[in-house]
Amino acid sequence: MHKYIIFRAEPRMPGWKDRKLQHTQSLTKILAAYFDSSDKDIPKPGYRPIELVRVEEEHDPNLHAHSTHYKTGNWEVTRVETYTPDVPNGEFDVIVICYCKYSPINAPLKPMPERQVSKDSFGGDNEAYERWLDSQDKETAEV
């Protein structure tokens, strides 16, 4: 099931001056948005989205994209709304809006796990996965 999950701040929550859209720097209530194609259930009240963190001293562009660590976030889901698109065979089966309240916790930082690539990473396209595996073998041989 293809889900688009959006985490939004409840009205009048603190920190509004710090919530800006990356590309425009416009203020937003959106805390995070995920595309989820897993069979996992949608978030429920009490769920806390993960917060991604970059520790500069530990950042290695060969190992990390932007973030080096993650932790349980300070925002807690208070209510959930779901919307089913009217368009058949659309990109998403459900759009989920999770409203959140700011509820800080002292969560420990955890290192990002190593990247795991599988056939599922290529949408089940075995040929694309095999090409990627071959390219990794060539890179290893060149080192």
Percent of the chain beyond pLDDT 70? Answer: 81
User: What pLDDT sits at residue 120?
Assistant: 74
User: What pLDDT sits at residue 25?
Assistant: 64
User: Which range, 17-21, 59-63, 132-136, has the best average confidence (pLDDT)?
Assistant: 132-136
- Distance, in Å, from the CA atom of 52 to the CA atom of 88, rounded to the nearest integer, reads 34
To the question of pTM greater than 0.75 for the whole model, the response is no
Cα angle for residues 86, 91, 92 (degrees, 5° grid): 65
User: What pLDDT sits at residue 143?
Assistant: 42
The residue extents of the domains of the chain are 3-112, 114-143
Percent of the chain beyond pLDDT 90? Answer: 23
